[in-house]
Amino acid sequence: MFGGGGGKSPVTWSPSYFPVLSRARLAHCPASPRLVRKSRGPHGVRRRESPVSLSRRSSSSCLRSRLSGILSPPARYTRWTRRSPGVGVTMATVALVLGVSLLFGWAPLGAGATSQPPNIVFLLMDDMGWGDLGVFGEPSRETPHLDQMAAEGMLFPNFYTANPLCSPSRAALLTGRLPIRNGFYTTNGHARNAYTPQEIVGGIPDSEFLLPELLKKAGYVNKIVGKWHLGHRPQFHPLKHGFDEWFGSPNCHFGPYDNKAMPNIPVYRNWEMVGRFYEDFPINHKTGEANLTQIYLKEAVDFIKKQQAHQQPFFLYWAIDATHAPVYASKSFLGTSQRGRYGDAVREIDDSIGKILKLLQDLGIKENTFVFFTSDNGAALISAPKEGGSNGPFLCGKQTTFEGGLREPAIAWWPGHIPAGQVSHQLGNVMDLFTTGLSLAGLKPPSDREIDGIDLLPAIVQGKVIDRPIFYYRGNEMMAVRVGQYKAHYWTWSNSWEEFSQGIDFCPGQNVSGVTTHSQEEHTNLPLLFHLGRDPGERFPIRVSSLEYKDALLRIFPIVEEHKRTLIPGEPQLNVCNPAVMNWAPPGCEKLRRCLTPPESKPKKCFWLH
């Protein structure tokens, strides 16, 4: 539908790994898998053949077949080393950027470029799970366009968020840094999930560099569509942090409120509000009807057309929230899926993404636009089945540091540069989008701070698999770490017995004795260890007395110790709440005559249940 590609696959795969899609029929794909081995010298980049179109049927069925056993990466990899503040970039990195520049027909800033760098589009979903896509085995066929996107691009089955909750994960994406570093955490309680509700005082600090701020140096025009969630007070406004345009909301679409105890959430166009949810932008809880996804689609389409007409490189951050409870969909999509309102919302999102990709094709800029699709955290199983998604074979969901809370669907699409039907074994993270975005623009990350995100271009362009750890944080605590195929839990906790007894369950139907604990259990001395290739559901801890356990921990312990030793936490932004800072009188309310009177200022410690 969007055009296809062909060529060699950069990775090895084998159905001998865990067969998550047992129903999938094994087929021979047009590409011959291979793995690029580690090289100590600069990364050489070869020009690829022009992609060959694949039909939707053949490409998607082939890709599904290859997914039958790739939940874990192969044993071979390029070694990961921690970036140190002030070091800058290595000669190998410089060589990679220059090589990629030649391949893609543009040069980095300052290199005498005559053509512009590629456009960048990040499609960030809200509470969408790994198992919500047909390409990962969801049987309802609600995502034909996303499945086609994967068939024409590169799928990342081992892609993670930086936190199992919305605000911290978005802060991590745009800064390339763990929430514990950029301040999006709380110290009001141990291992507590925190975010940015209306009464939050904090937000994204001025000390943090956001991706759009840095992209401006390369001439990019930047727009955010949808949910910001990094603070709603004036100093945290997205246009103060590098975005040139914004249409969307500072908070989630909760409500409706009475505008007395709490105001309805405003919707902004650029600097000023243009209305409020449930008033000017209706969301019908009874029917699930809302037209917001169509509005967000139009904003994206208009922005892309405008920037193409101006011949300016652009960064579009499309952060929509239809799959976050209360789930909504447009009237024409309601009742069209097999999974209730949630499935309807997924269908509309999929349709919208299909239209965005087709627009890039129709405008003739698909080969100069890098598109990446993922989600902010795992599916909210507490909202399932009517308003929550699927995390596939993984344990638990949003709010937890089990795989279902942080493993995300992820697809990279770039016709002409990514051959069709690719699957990468790279362990990826939303923080990598920061570093990869800079690399695409010919820029390097700030050297005065720790950057946790890695550049994914070696994985995308050369098929390299870089050995790097994944740290699972919940609030101020590192709960677990993944190194290779092994995941070690240093702490386990789903939610409290009190909440659980009230029907609040983050792991419905998935209780694993000694693992999905309802009290905070520490395993620092003897971490719970799982092999995610054999046991992606984290149900069978490896015996402490086994040689496998000892060998794995010998590799994991030094990585964890180095991380903790060098960690400098940022100032926590999610500690203080105050009803006076809620969205009573946002900029622009005067013009609409919609300003509300705030209550008396009463700062207090925010209380986070879990």
Residue 494, domain member (yes or no): yes
Chain mean position to CA 168: 11
| Secondary structure letter of residue 263 according to DSSP | P
Banded model confidence at residue 384, pLDDT cuts 50, 70, 90: confident
Q: Is 455 annotated as a binding residue?
A: no
Secondary structure (3-state) at 577: strand
d(CA 283, CA 278): 6
**Has residue 355 got a pLDDT over 90?**
yes
Q: Is 127 annotated as a binding residue?
A: yes
**Has residue 113 got a pLDDT over 50?**
no
* CATH (domain of 166): 3.40.720.10
Q: What is the mean pLDDT of the chain?
A: 87
C-beta neighbour count of 140 within 10 angstroms: 14
* CATH (domain of 545): 3.30.1120.10
Give the CA radius of gyration of the chain: 23
DSSP string, 508-556: TT---TTTS-SS-EE-SSS-EEEETTT-TT--SPPPTTSHHHHHHHHHH
**Does 524 lie in the same domain as 424?**
no
**What integer is the mean pLDDT of 367-380?**
99
Residue 503, domain member (yes or no): yes
Chain mean position to CA 306: 26
**Does 351 lie in the same domain as 253?**
yes
**Does 374 lie in the same domain as 250?**
yes
Tens of pLDDT, residue by residue over 514-525, are 999 999 999 999
In this structure, are residues 281 and 275 in contact, taking their beta carbons and an 8 Å threshold? Answer: yes
Tens of pLDDT, residue by residue over 264-298, are 999 999 999 999 999 999 999 999 999 999 999 99
**Does 304 lie in the same domain as 421?**
yes
**What integer is the mean pLDDT of 48-77?**
44
> Of 466, 495, 528, at which residue does a domain stop?
466
Residue 340, domain member (yes or no): yes
> Of 425, 442, 466, at which residue does a domain stop?
466
Which pLDDT value is given to residue 41?
Answer: 36
Contacts made by residues 330-336, CB under 8 angstroms, sequence distance 24+: 330/289, 330/290, 330/291, 330/293, 330/294, 331/289, 331/291, 334/287, 334/288, 334/289
> Of 398, 432, 466, at which residue does a domain stop?
466
Q: Is 551 annotated as a binding residue?
A: no
Residue 249, domain member (yes or no): yes
**Does 562 lie in the same domain as 413?**
no
In this structure, are residues 149 and 134 in contact, taking their beta carbons and an 8 Å threshold? Answer: no
Residue 34, domain member (yes or no): no
Residue 200, domain member (yes or no): yes
d(CA 538, CA 530): 6
Q: Percent of the chain beyond pLDDT 70?
A: 81
In this structure, are residues 208 and 175 in contact, taking their beta carbons and an 8 Å threshold? Answer: yes
Q: How many CA atoms lie within 13 A of 80 on its CB side?
A: 20
Residue 71, domain member (yes or no): no
Supply φ then ψ for residue 234, to 5 degrees: -50, -40
**Does 129 lie in the same domain as 200?**
yes
**Does 456 lie in the same domain as 499?**
no
**Does 342 lie in the same domain as 242?**
yes
**Does 482 lie in the same domain as 422?**
no
In this structure, are residues 138 and 391 in contact, taking their beta carbons and an 8 Å threshold? Answer: no
**Has residue 97 got a pLDDT over 80?**
no
- Closest by Cα among 208, 199, 169 to 475: 169
Supply φ then ψ for residue 255, to 5 degrees: 140, -165
Chain mean position to CA 175: 13
**Does 483 lie in the same domain as 455?**
no
d(CA 332, CA 233): 36
Residue 607, domain member (yes or no): no
Task: Return the active site residues.
Answer: 166, 229
> How many domains is the chain built from?
2
In this structure, are residues 257 and 583 in contact, taking their beta carbons and an 8 Å threshold? Answer: no
pTM: 0.86
**Does 497 lie in the same domain as 385?**
no
Domain hosting residue 231, numbered range: 90-466
**Does 483 lie in the same domain as 442?**
no
Q: Is 376 annotated as a binding residue?
A: yes
